[in-house]
């Protein structure tokens, strides 16, 4: 090294890894395999690298807690009340924290109205890993290039994801409504995200097979829009006798509109939601349950150990309650 003391950056460059990976390998931290640790340590020994004692303390979490590794949960949702109004996000954080256990890793939650095309200048110090929610296309790919990344729901090609079987969930909801004799079925679908589109596809596949026309409106997973959409549906089909809501929050808006219109649930109109959240239990709402906590935990486990098999799809199950 031309008489200069070798640095961690030198070790990373020669070993062909990032500086963060080199640090984790030298310190024997999570996220590096035994083979990687042996390789990086051999390079460090060859270069005569000696870890600085203070730097080592920071890397192993024995110094300031502010220097802990972190996993960023990046949520794209235009609803400013999303974190309090949508149980889904709380369930994600519960599953993520469960997976982390007592490991010295912090969760950093960030909600933005729109996904930036690429990480900004703040990404000069990327987190250990990222959990992406509602981030697709170029943005998902850009983040994946900067740090370990797993998406909840399909993102960009090549980005590892874990998701519920939304298509099957939509299919189950539709089959339930058709099999219980509902004839004039409406739907308040979700925004154009992969998960919402999959639910729509499964639902409409049953409707097409049953030769039934669906009176549908687009929603955005908010109660306000679902309320307005249900008012529209009733104006278009006053004899509506069933509604599929693409999420439980949407179902709350549907139920409010039906109640104000004097329509009894389930006697006049059956309602089925999607999520299986505490909202569904409290409202006695039939809903497709998706294991959100398990989904998030699986994603975190994969962030910590990318050698694990890709998480893939988790099963969904319709729970029938008093609303249908």
Q: Report the distance separating Cα 130 and Cα 299, nearest Å.
A: 10
CB 187 within 8 A of CB 244: yes
State the pLDDT at residue 187: 98
Query: What pLDDT sits at residue 126?
Result: 75
Q: What are the beta bridge partners of residue 148? A: 129
What's residue 59's pLDDT?
Answer: 47
Rounded Cα distance between 173 and 286, Å, is 9
Q: State how far the Cα of 32 lies from the Cα of 24, in Å rounded to an integer.
A: 7
List Cβ neighbours of 115 (8 Å cut-off, separation of 6 or more).
74, 76, 134, 135, 136, 137, 139, 140
Which residues share a beta bridge with 164? Answer: 314
Give pLDDT tens digits for 187-222. 999 999 999 999 999 999 999 999 888 999 999 999
Domains of the chain in start order, with CATH, are 8-65 (1.10.260.40), 68-163+292-309 (3.40.50.2300), 166-289 (3.40.50.2300)
Low-confidence stretches of the chain (pLDDT beneath 70):
1-4, 29-31, 51-68, 117-125
The predicted pLDDT at position 66 comes to 42
Whether the Cβ atoms of residue 295 and residue 163 lie closer than 8 Å to each other: yes
Helices (H), the chain: 8-15, 19-26, 34-47, 53-59, 82-85, 87-100, 138-146, 166-179, 194-209, 223-236, 248-260, 278-282, 292-304
The C-alpha atoms of residue 179 and residue 169 are separated, in whole angstroms, by 15
Q: Please count the residues of the chain.
A: 324
* pLDDT tens-place string over residues 69-112: 889 999 999 999 999 999 999 999 999 999 998 888 889 999 99
Query: pTM of this prediction?
Result: 0.78
**Contact call for residues 187 and 205 (beta carbons, < 8 A):** no
Task: Tell me what pLDDT residue 123 has.
Answer: 56
pLDDT attached to residue 118 = 64
Are 314 and 290 in contact by the 8 Å Cβ rule? The answer is: yes
- In the prediction, which pLDDT does 146 show? 79
């Amino acid at each position: 090294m031309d008489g200069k003391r070798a640095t961690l950056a030198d070790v990373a460059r020669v070993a062909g890894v990032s500086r963060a990976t080199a640090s984790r390998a030298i310190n024997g931290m999570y996220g590096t395999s035994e083979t990687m640790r042996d390789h990086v340590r051999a390079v460090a020994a060859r270069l005569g690298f000696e870890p600085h004692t203070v730097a080592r303390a920071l890397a192993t979490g024995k110094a300031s807690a502010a220097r802990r590794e972190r996993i960023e949960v990046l949520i794209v949702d235009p609803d400013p009340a999303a974190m309090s109004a949508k149980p889904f996000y709380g369930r994600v954080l519960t599953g993520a924290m469960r997976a982390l256990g007592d490991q010295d890793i912090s969760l950093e939650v960030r909600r933005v109205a729109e996904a930036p095309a690429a990480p900004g200048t703040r990404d000069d110090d990327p987190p250990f890993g990222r959990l992406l929610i509602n981030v697709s296309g170029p943005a998902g790919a850009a983040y994946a290039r900067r740090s370990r990344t797993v998406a909840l729901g399909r993102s960009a090609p090549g980005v590892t994801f874990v998701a519920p079987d939304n298509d099957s969930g939509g299919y189950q909801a539709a089959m339930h409504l058709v099999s219980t004799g509902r004839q004039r079925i409406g739907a308040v679908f979700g925004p154009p995200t992969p998960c919402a589109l999959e639910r729509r596809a499964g639902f409409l596949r049953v409707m097409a097979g049953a030769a039934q026309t669906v009176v549908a409106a687009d929603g955005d997973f908010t109660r306000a829009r679902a309320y307005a959409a249900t008012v529209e549906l009733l104006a278009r089909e006053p004899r509506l006798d069933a509604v599929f809501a693409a999420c439980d929050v949407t179902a709350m808006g549907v139920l409010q509109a039906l109640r104000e219109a004097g329509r009894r649930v389930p006697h006049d109109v059956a309602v089925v939601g999607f999520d299986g959240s505490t909202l569904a239990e409290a409202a006695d709402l039939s809903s497709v349950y998706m294991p959100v906590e398990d989904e998030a935990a699986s994603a975190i486990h994969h962030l910590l150990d990318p050698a694990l098999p890709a998480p893939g799809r988790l099963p969904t199950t319709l729970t029938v309650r008093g609303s249908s």
